[in-house]
Structure 1
């Protein structure tokens, strides 16, 4: 039997390093990878320093976690470290053993790590792109230590780790910016981290505090759990590959249910409502995917559209399902296993349908024939072979009163039919899409007076047995927006008329 011969083919350091630096990290995804390591190390406090310097900004990340011994640090600086096949604890947010190196060197050309265990001295190692290209896969012991305020802070901690990114270049997207542009970019980073780690900052995970340039990062809850109009649909536990995960769909409130535009915009999250719809995939309570339909769909693949903008679905994965969900090295993408696609599609379709009703009926619920409260709905929706048909409710108290005043049903029905069949549905849909949800304009004083005068005339036609408050609520029930001023003016005018 012939012996198989082998040939050594070590990677060329400069070429491989250039490839690893081009994995597509942004500053925020790279910093998120650093925070993962801090959480895995049991840190309670994480401090990031990122100051503007047109020529040479430096990034520093300091945590008060358990720190590393000398050999552990050597292993951590080795590309590959603990690979994806290694068993990981539930709180270990690592994946490929590449994150700290690839994330750091995607932004900078020099990575320095200083660390200490309880009761030990600070020690460190440095990876320099130029040194690796010249000497191969070696790390240097930094001497002297870098000059940064966090170095002194580390020496005063019982234990912890400091990561420094030096020599940031064009890959980071942070060099060469004007001061104003730099700090605008910093706000985007702040928002991203508040979204990715919201369950750690203010949620059901082990609590951590993240501070960026002296200011605490605030959590952003994608599901607006504290809002009374948020609908939590039934959660499900799904078993797969000898383990299981949970899925929880939510339908968020309509724009009209937020107290003001600022609150509504904040609930939309980074990128806005359109970008943030869909699945939110968590791994160990750390957010991986922040709004995506994951390539799912029924007759066709779903896209981000206006009717589903209020649908958000939480998937909680354990850390041992990485292979099945094909988690990528940046921990920013996940793809569901093929055997689960049908079930996930069914769950998402129900959530999208419920979100569509809230979006279309401004959170008041759909008005369908036979439904409770139908008598007070102006518009009714009914299914037909040609799809959903919308008709004006002929039994609405105001319509009934107008019919009685006209003395004949046919002329009024003819007018209503013309309105129904000439409704510019396509134009309305286009306008809503282009205006990010069609906010209802506030009524000014002139409009309040004019509309109240018109409604008083209708109020006179309502049955005399109805009280003033009943008339006002009947006339205003389906009108959107803040009606406080209109309600008060209308009530006053009706009382004056009755008097």
Structure 2
């Protein structure tokens, strides 16, 4: 710690704001974690970095976050300037690191000590802001830490910079707002979740920089290293998901690019563009595709990009539309350049926008026909994407949902070879051969219909060649026709019943043994018999 006594002194004509008060105010600027991490990465990209790595770690409950890049780096004068709150403007107005505040405010929103090490042509420099020092002295004291404390970090930066011999390391220490304090295990668990969330958010924010086929923006490789040392390399995520389209097959319906010209505050004009896409019906997507598309109510709406970087995706702008299930398939992309920062009222966090009434009206003119088209399709399908009347389409939602959670619902380890299955479960610690269970060669289908099942039961457990549990449904059972007739226009209810019956089949496989297989069969027949009687209270299918 520096000798702070030499900084004391008063000047009755010095009316600069209290550093102690202001630094705490600047910590409360409303940053979300992903926005803060993105702000630091913005500076790396602005410094022409081609590689950025984020490291999350914790030791004895103390969290540490490190950012490394191989960008241009800074010499001593450049680093001092960059550490200044309100640092000089960058020469390129398109720069993602535009406002001179992000590095400091984004960092200290979550930590009490910010240290920056920069390497320029092989020469390292180091500076640090420490909130405790600033509060104690009530002065903006920019510290120069001892290299003995940060020697390992300096060496790590030199290694990361490589032959270029330039780069920057940003270190967050005394992290007090990123996770909730607790045991080391609790902290590590929170950091693991944070790592997952960062990978998802950053892959969207910097998608165009991560995409090497996008020639409009520089290529940047971004990775996140977790507490266990594993490194995840981010892949860009496009909300329109046009990668689902192939030659001659347009699963995502692209919507035409529109250009909107607006008048800026100084009277000059500039333009932004609007494009969009309509995703395929949810039940036409596999579980893997739904994950890839990030199919959810939260992800509908407008995605706004500034200079190629995603800055806002909170659904629909205020006073435009509300989120609704029927609109989940519609996504809209708005692109604008730095010259429209004042029109969209971009703040230094680059995570807030204000859509003026004029711009909102222009947007609605463009989006309204697209929205009406999606609503019309939803109405035509009874408010949902039924995908048709075939057995496969009828159970597709349930198939995808069950497949999505296959690992967490697994009750037995099953292997299928040569048309025979062996399993291990809590009743069979060693592999045993399973008999009396049908095995399907076609895989990936969890809910299957058959004309009838042995004993005219409603359902029976089955397997496929991958060893996954399936449920067979007997169409000849009286409950079957009445059940599906009652749920014809209620896809969620239909999915819920499919899930229930599949879970019964899964439980059968989970407890199957040579000793109790007869009990399982009797249990299934007893339930089917009871449903045969009770289903008389349901409407006859012919009445529908």
Normalising by structure 2, report the TM-score. 0.62
1:108 counterpart residue number: 111
- Distance in 1 (CA, whole Å) between partners of 2:39 and 2:307 is 14
Residue 167 of structure 2 is aligned to residue 160 of structure 1: yes
2:520 counterpart residue number: none
SS at match of 1:122: strand
- Name which of 368, 372, 375 aligns with 1:349: 368
Judge conservation of contact 1:281–1:334 (CA < 8 Å) in 2.
no
SS at match of 1:315: strand
C-alpha deviation, 1:332, in angstroms: 1.1
Judge conservation of contact 1:210–1:217 (CA < 8 Å) in 2.
yes
SS at match of 1:226: helix
- Distance in 1 (CA, whole Å) between partners of 2:59 and 2:257 is 48
- Distance in 1 (CA, whole Å) between partners of 2:203 and 2:14 is 46
- Name which of 43, 67, 76 aligns with 2:73: 67
1:445 counterpart residue number: 449
- Name which of 199, 202, 212 aligns with 2:224: 212
Structure 1 residues 243, 51: CA separation in 2 closer, same or farther (over 3 Å shift)? same
Judge conservation of contact 1:254–1:359 (CA < 8 Å) in 2.
no
- Distance in 2 (CA, whole Å) between partners of 1:14 and 1:20 is 10
Judge conservation of contact 1:57–1:175 (CA < 8 Å) in 2.
no
Q: Deviations over 1:217-238 (max 9, x none)?
A: 2222211111121111111112
Residue 295 of structure 2 is aligned to residue 288 of structure 1: no
2:538 counterpart residue number: none
- Name which of 30, 36, 49 aligns with 2:36: 30
SS at match of 1:351: helix
Structure 1 residues 349, 116: CA separation in 2 closer, same or farther (over 3 Å shift)? same
Structure 1 residues 41, 293: CA separation in 2 closer, same or farther (over 3 Å shift)? same
Residue correspondence of structure 1 range 127-142 to structure 2 within 5 A: 127-135=129-137, 136-142=139-145
Residue correspondence of structure 1 range 410-489 to structure 2 within 5 A: 443-446=447-450
Judge conservation of contact 2:75–2:124 (CA < 8 Å) in 1.
no
C-alpha deviation, 1:145, in angstroms: 5.0
Runs of 4+ in structure 1 off by over 6 angstroms are 362-367
2:345 counterpart residue number: 326
Judge conservation of contact 1:45–1:63 (CA < 8 Å) in 2.
yes
1:124 counterpart residue number: 126
- Distance in 1 (CA, whole Å) between partners of 2:234 and 2:82 is 27
C-alpha deviation, 1:361, in angstroms: 5.1
Residue 300 of structure 2 is aligned to residue 277 of structure 1: yes
Judge conservation of contact 1:230–1:251 (CA < 8 Å) in 2.
yes
Say which structure, 1 or 2, has more relative contact order (CA 8 Å, 6+ apart). 1
Judge conservation of contact 2:56–2:191 (CA < 8 Å) in 1.
no
SS at match of 1:324: coil
Normalising by structure 1, report the TM-score. 0.68
Q: Deviations over 1:281-318 (max 9, x none)?
A: 00111000124211143xxxx21111111111111110
Number of equivalences: 371
Judge conservation of contact 2:240–2:276 (CA < 8 Å) in 1.
no
Structure 2: unaligned runs, 5 residues or longer: 1-11, 226-230, 246-250, 390-397, 402-444, 452-471, 479-490, 495-544
1:254 counterpart residue number: 281
Residue 48 of structure 2 is aligned to residue 49 of structure 1: no
2:290 counterpart residue number: 264
Q: Deviations over 1:203-259 (max 9, x none)?
A: 62321111111221222221111112111111111222322121112111111221x
SS at match of 1:334: coil
- Distance in 2 (CA, whole Å) between partners of 1:275 and 1:345 is 20
Structure 1 residues 307-316 or 352-361, which shifts more?
Answer: 352-361
Computed over aligned residues only, the root mean square deviation of the Cα atoms, in angstroms, reads 3.3
Residue 112 of structure 2 is aligned to residue 89 of structure 1: no
1:338 counterpart residue number: 357
SS at match of 1:292: coil
- Distance in 2 (CA, whole Å) between partners of 1:100 and 1:289 is 19
Structure 1 residues 159, 449: CA separation in 2 closer, same or farther (over 3 Å shift)? closer
